[in-house]
Structure 1
Amino acid sequence: MHRMERSIGIAIKKANNALSRDSDHFAKQLGLTGMQISTINFIAAHETTQDIFQRDLEHEFNIRKATASSLVTTMVAKDLLIRVPATNDARYKRLLLTPNARQLATKIEAFFEASERRIQNLLGPAFESTYTQLTQISTDFTAKATEQSKKD
């Protein structure tokens, strides 16, 4: 099989790996994982305007139910999250940051903002179109994978 000289898929994968390693390195200094700091950042950014549930993490990070469940369980055990019954339906558990996680949230947000600025500076004027195109790739491939798994 002839390998493509310049594969955008491989370039995306490499960029994603580099970003993951960078956030894992920062997270490790806080005694956390990259996924845990991303979760804290996501909840901190949205909790004042909406209730956050496990399914929101599944959707936001494109992770499976089992992965999200294990993430939340670990974060509850590490005193980063608490599960609180939803106001309108006690079967559903809202996810709230503990004071411990809230204390870290500011540092985490600053880290992600600096990282985002760095990416924007690297992309320059191509930022908007790159963002749109990457979002389109994600949407299209996710839809195809969902379609595929329904057939399986």
Structure 2
Amino acid sequence: MKNKSKLGLHIDKINRIISRKIDAAVIRSIDGKITLSQAYVIDFISDNSSRDIFQKDIEKEFDLKRSSVSLMLNNMEKNNLIKRVPVAEDARLKKIVLTEKSIELSKIVSDAIDSGENQLAKDITPEEIEVFYKVLGKIRNNLEGQI
């Protein structure tokens, strides 16, 4: 029997709506100071400040190629948004550290993202969100290795 629910189409539609809304809020908040991608990277590093972040972590988080992340990080370093700091165990490894400039921007970006996330979760109970995450996990597991 053919599945008529078109689950993938509905997920794609809601993804585009979410991206447009949250991206628009972030774009308004950064007011041309940095790129949208840089804003999300700054937010990711800020959210994970309790651990060292390396280029490979950014590649994995945003599903980007090494060359794309390297170019973005080079530009961010030139614009005094990040520093690459060698780690004691392996001087070849460089952790990515936010500068004061980007720490200030991270607060603005985080507020914009939080506002969008709050709107997204409005009128949804914690139990419904938990079920939603379980379903998303199952969908992800169904697709792993398929594409």
Indicate the TM-score class for this superposition, using the shorter chain for normalisation: 0.7 to 0.9
What one-letter code is carried by the residue in structure 1 that aligns with 2:61? E
Mapped partners of 2:80, 2:137: distance in 1: 33
- The answer to whether the 8 A contact 2:26-2:113 is kept is no
Secondary structure of 1:143's counterpart equals coil
2:117 is equivalent to residue 120 of structure 1:
no
Structure 2 gap segments, 5+ residues each: none
State how far apart, in whole Å, the 2-side matches of 1:26 and 1:138 are: 27
**Percent of counterpart pairs with the same letter?**
27
Structure 2 match to 1:132: 134
Instruction: Determine if contact 2:26/2:112 at 8 Å carries over to the other structure.
Output: no
Other-structure match for 1:73: 74
Distance in 1 (alpha carbons) for counterparts of 2:39 and 2:137:
22
Q: For this pair of structures, how many residues does the alignment match? A: 142
Secondary structure of 2:92's match?
coil
Per-residue CA deviations over 1:91-138 (Å, capped at 9, x if unaligned) read 011101111110011111122222222222254342111122223323
Paired amino acid for 1:41: D
- In the other structure, the counterpart of 1:148 is none
Cα distance between partner residues in 2 of 1:15 and 1:82: 36
Match of 1:10 in 2: 9
Change (3 A) 1:61 1:137: farther
CA distance in 1, matches of 2:22, 2:80: 20
Q: Report the AA paired with residue 57 of structure 1.
A: I
Equivalent runs, 1:1-152 vs 2, <5 Å:
6-29=5-28, 30=30, 31=32, 32-47=34-49, 49-124=50-125, 125-145=127-147
1:16-56, Cα deviation, whole Å (9 max, x unpaired): 22222223323333123332222111111112x21100111
What is the SS of the residue equivalent to 1:90?
strand
> Greater CA deviation, 77-86 or 16-25?
16-25
**What amino acid does structure 2 have at the position aligned with 1:76?**
E
